[in-house]
């Protein structure tokens, strides 16, 4: 657990006078706020707050710790913001969440490139295709590949990727090439577990929207595994161009039913609050926007 996140949560609870009051400023659930304060008390081995159904008050230890935390967090924020503002250089730790395949293929070298510009920044990067809770888990920034829905989070678009139906020429020579999405029901497909529609794949074609129920031969929660299976002639995949674009350009994978398109999805830098975004995170977001302004994979 991030000690500074626990301390920030505690300070906000005291300032707001209640756990519920702190939820808005922190953009956390009440359960998360309560958990962070409880974990902090457990780590310190003291009770910081007296809790009743009517009111919340600090213990003697809690008051001493609150004043220390308030001063420490204020100094930390001021120091980082001053250095960044004065020098234009990012300083301090940035905690980032990103999808596995995109993080490996297109972001791994980005952290090094940013660090070359800003040598006093450090990264804590977590790769997971699970959608993390930025605030509750203490992330400064997340990269998400999605059709962005209404959200309290703030997002800046980095790029986009088309989702392509494809297979190897060897598989198609053996099993036949589908001429219509409905033909997929008779083919081996490699399914991505986090695909929102699961086994129902949808396409927009000359006759409008077409959906088909597929019967996966293999299901996996990783796009690179889907790609590897297709390259080994195991079946048909539906994957984004940031994973399969180079294969399509090289001919090792072939697009199927090109008149029937799947979705195009955006790639976004997502963060918790426009008002409270730190200078170092803003510099990183600007860097990523600049980096992905030119397409980095064949579309």
Residue 274 pLDDT > 60, yes or no? Answer: no
pLDDT of residue 247: 97
Mean residue pLDDT across the chain: 89
- Mode of pairing for the β-strands spanning 216-220 and 92-98: unpaired
Q: Which residue has the tokens 């999808």?
A: 99
Q: How many folded domains does the chain comprise?
A: 3
Give yes or no: residues 14 and 155 share one domain.
Answer: no
Give me the percent of the chain exceeding a pLDDT of 70: 94
pLDDT of residue 75: 79
Residue 240 pLDDT > 90, yes or no? Answer: yes
CATH number of the domain enclosing 192: 3.40.190.290
Give yes or no: residues 209 and 258 share one domain.
Answer: yes
Nearest one of 216, 221, 246, 215 to 231, comparing CA atoms? 246
pLDDT range class, residue 273, cuts 50, 70, 90: low
Mean pLDDT of 42-67: 89
Question: For residue 297, is it within any domain?
Answer: no
Q: How far apart are CA 296 and CA 292, in angstroms?
A: 7
Residue 261 pLDDT > 90, yes or no? Answer: yes
CA torsion sign, 155 to 157 to 158 to 159? positive
Q: Which residue has the tokens 């398109």?
A: 261
pLDDT of residue 152: 62
pLDDT of residue 151: 61
pLDDT range class, residue 157, cuts 50, 70, 90: very high
Residue 82 pLDDT > 70, yes or no? Answer: no
Q: Quote the Cα angle for 277-80-92, to 5°.
A: 85
Q: How far apart are CA 21 and CA 12, in angstroms?
A: 8
Q: How far apart are CA 10 and CA 40, in angstroms?
A: 8
Q: How far apart are CA 88 and CA 205, in angstroms?
A: 49
Residue 50 pLDDT > 80, yes or no? Answer: yes
Give yes or no: residues 52 and 128 share one domain.
Answer: no
Provide φ and ψ at 226, rounded to 5°. Answer: -60, -45
pLDDT of residue 275: 55
Q: What is the pLDDT of residues 83-141, one digit of tens each?
A: 666 667 778 889 999 999 999 999 999 999 999 999 989 999 999 988 777 777 778 89
pLDDT of residue 150: 58
pTM beyond 0.75: the answer is no
Question: For residue 106, is it within any domain?
Answer: yes
Which residues, other chains included, contact 253 with Cβ-Cβ below 8 Å and sequence gap of 6+?
166, 167, 168, 227, 230, 231, 244, 247
Question: For residue 93, is it within any domain?
Answer: yes
Residue 43 pLDDT > 70, yes or no? Answer: yes
Q: Please answer whether residues 264 and 161 qualify as being in contact, where contact means their C-beta atoms are separated by less than 8 angstroms.
A: yes
Which residue range(s) make up the domain with 283? 86-159+266-291
Name the residue with higher pLDDT: 27 or 240: 240
Question: For residue 296, is it within any domain?
Answer: no
CATH number of the domain enclosing 33: 1.10.10.10
Residue where a domain stops, chosen among 84, 107, 132: 84
């Amino acid at each position: 657990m991030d000690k500074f996140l626990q301390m920030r949560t505690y300070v906000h609870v005291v300032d707001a006078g209640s756990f519920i009051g702190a939820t808005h400023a922190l953009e956390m659930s009440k359960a998360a706020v309560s958990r962070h304060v409880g974990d902090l008390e457990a780590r310190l081995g003291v009770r910081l707050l007296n809790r009743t159904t009517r009111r919340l008050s600090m213990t003697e230890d809690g008051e001493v710790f609150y004043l220390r935390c308030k001063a420490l967090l204020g100094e930390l924020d001021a120091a980082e913001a001053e250095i960044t503002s004065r020098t234009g250089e990012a300083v301090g730790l940035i905690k980032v969440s990103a999808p596995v395949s995109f993080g490996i293929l297109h972001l791994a070298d980005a952290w090094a490139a940013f660090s070359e510009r800003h040598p006093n920044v450090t990264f804590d990067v977590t790769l997971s295709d699970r959608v993390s809770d930025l605030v509750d888990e203490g992330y400064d920034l997340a990269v998400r590949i999605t059709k962005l829905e209404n959200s309290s989070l703030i997002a800046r678009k980095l790029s986009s990727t088309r989702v392509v139906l494809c297979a190897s020429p060897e598989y198609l020579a053996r099993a036949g090439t589908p001429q219509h999405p409905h033909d997929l029901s008779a083919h081996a497909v490699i399914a991505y577990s986090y695909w929102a529609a699961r086994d129902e794949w949808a396409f927009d074609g000359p006759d409008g929207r077409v959906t088909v129920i597929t019967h996966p031969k293999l299901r996996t929660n990783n796009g690179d595994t889907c790609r590897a299976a297709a390259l080994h002639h195991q079946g048909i995949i539906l994957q984004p161009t940031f994973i399969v674009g180079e294969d399509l350009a090289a001919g090792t994978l072939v697009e199927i039913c090109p008149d029937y398109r799947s979705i195009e999805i955006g790639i976004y830098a997502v963060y918790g609050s426009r008002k409270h975004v730190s200078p170092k995170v803003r510099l990183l977001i600007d860097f990523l926007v600049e980096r992905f302004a030119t397409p980095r994979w064949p579309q």
